[in-house]
Structure formats: C-alpha cells, structure tokens
Amino acid sequence: MEQLFNFFFVFFIGFLGFLLFSRLRVPVAGFLGSFFATGILNIAGYYPYFNVKIVSFLAQAATGVMIGRQINREFFAHVKGVSVSILTASVGMVAVSLATGYTIYILSDASLSTALLGGAMGGIAEMTTFGVSLGAEPVTILFMLIFRLLIAITSSYWVVLFISRMIPGKTAKELPRRCDKESYFRKRDYVILAGTAFAGAWFFSALGIPNGVMLGAMLFCGILSVCIRKTYKFDMGARHVTLIALGLAIASNVTPDVVGELHRLLLPGLASSLVSLVGSTLVALILYKTSPMDIVTCVLCTSPAGLTQSTFLSEEMGADSLTTSIFQSCRMFSIIAFYPWIVIAIL
C-alpha cells in the first residue's frame, strides 16, 4: 500500500510537469515534463521508493499496444520491403555511435571504454551494465546516455521541422488501410487485448529481446487484431499517461551522483550530442535518397531520441509511426547485440 501511495505521489508530480510543459508547447510534453519534474524530486532526495521496473514494464507494454493497432495483413510484406533500408540505418547508427564515443574520448578525461559506451545510440541499462564488466565508469556512461537522450528528444522536433522545410517532396506512405468490414473492439474485447499484451510483453522479455516488452505487446496485439478482424483505438489521455509513466521511470536514474558529473562532462556531452544529431540526420538523408519513405519518417527512424519517444513524436507529426518503431527497434537491437563486441575489438 505504501509503494502504491508513493507511485501516485510521484505520478502527480510528473503530471504537474506535463501540464506546465504542455502550456509552454514543448514537444512530447508528457515525457519531458514528467522527467524534469520528477528528476528534480529525485535530485532533492524526495523521490520515494516504489517498484519502478513494474511501472516501466506497464508503460512499455501500453506503448506496444498503441502501435500494434496499425499492424494489418500487409505488415510483414511492408517489413520485407524496407529490409535493406533497415540494414542501412542500423549500420549507420553503429558508425554514429563510434563517432560520438570518440568525441567524448577526445574532449574528456574518460577512458576509451567509458567514452565508447557513453556514445552508444541506445541501451542505457545494457551499456551501463556492460561498462561495469569492463571496469569502465558506470556513472559517466549513465550521465552521457541520459544527457544525450534529453538533448535528442528536445531538439528532434525542431530538426524534423527544419529538414522537412528544406527538403519538401515525398509524403508519408502509410500501410494500406484495413478492410472496411473490420469493426472496432467492444468492451469485452479489451480484456482479451490486455491479456494478450501482457503475454506478449512477458514472453519477449523472458527471451531477452531488446525492448522485448514493447515489441512483444505490439506484435501479439497486432496479430490478435488481424485474426479477429477488429481494430481498436486509444484517446490522447492514454498516451499522456503512458508518457508520464515513462518519464518518471527514467528520472529514477537521475541521482545526485549523475548530476555531479555535469561540471566535468557538460562540454563533451554537448559536443557528442551535436555529433549524434548530425550523424543520425546524415543517415536519414541516405534513407530518403534510397527509399520511398518521406523525409520526416526517415529522420525519426534514425533519431537518437529513443524508440518510444521517437514513435510518439512521429504520431504527433503525422509521420509513419509503425515504420519508425520498426527501424528504431532494429537500431536498438544492433547496438545491444553488436556494439559491445566492436568496443572489445577496439580495446
């Protein structure tokens, strides 16, 4: 009961941050407002204990359910059609990770292993844990990853607007619409949907698949929707709740030790964030030239802002959020699966 009360207290603080950022018209206000409000709470030492992993699990599963509604019978053909572009994006983001890591190494006193892992485009928990096994500095790695994530989320919206105005052209190509005969879920169908989402999230997570919670819920719910020939929808309130929960979950990592690194790593953090943004944008331009995707979707597919945040931002900007989630998922998998081996080879 105490943990439940603590969660609602922190969620309320995150909700106040969301209201403030919404009024200021900040993009992805649910996540950023919640993160900053509850992050300040954590730094001040007033972040009460509750099981953050459960909150993160539920929020990621909810994200998967929301994206899964777009899956239809043409989904796998769609994935096959962009497989070369997915490979290009994954290789490109590994290269951007290395460039970002070497930027940190040159501009700071961090060891090479710490810098390279701090430059990784994703996998906060995985890169930090791997850093411990290599004898790197986990606090420095955590600081660089969170700092760059925030910079990317804050700037991605403006980067997308700038690029889309500079390169007008192809419009977003969404997946073919569902058959008109399909109807919306009824109330009892949502109970089955919730159970399906939980089963998929748990199964993929148990397999150790990167971002398995979100991917499992997305695929299982999408397949359920296709099989019963019904679709479902969520209102903006559900999206805001999910983003607030994700924000406060990540803010639990913002401890005084992490903030204490600010004076030492501010310049490397800003420089590496610039390198990651420029590098990911160049990869996006390659995708735009070699694929039928629109420029907004391309930029969000390679954005270092993170899978969940990029997916929600793509929905806000009218891009193809399902394609964005597919590319971001493959990028995350590539970084977690192959990047540590590249770091070992370099060291």
User: How far apart are the C-alpha atoms of 96 and 272, rounded to whole Å?
Assistant: 10
173-217 pLDDT, tens digit per residue, is: 444 444 444 577 777 778 888 899 999 999 988 887 766 888 888
pLDDT at 193: 87
Q: What is the pTM assigned to this prediction?
A: 0.73
pLDDT at 182: 54
User: How far apart are the C-alpha atoms of 43 and 190, rounded to whole Å?
Assistant: 39
Q: How confident is the model at residue 169 (pLDDT cuts 50, 70, 90)?
A: low
Q: Let me know: does 314 contact 300? Beta carbons within 8 Å.
A: yes
pLDDT at 179: 43
H-helix segments, 69-186: 75-81, 83-107, 112-118, 124-134, 138-166
Which of 347 and 89 is assigned the larger pLDDT?
A: 89
What integer is the mean pLDDT of 125-147?
Answer: 79
pLDDT at 174: 45
Q: Let me know: does 132 contact 138? Beta carbons within 8 Å.
A: yes
Q: What is the mean pLDDT of the chain?
A: 83
pLDDT at 170: 52
| pLDDT of 26 above 70 | yes
End-to-end CA distance of the chain: 48
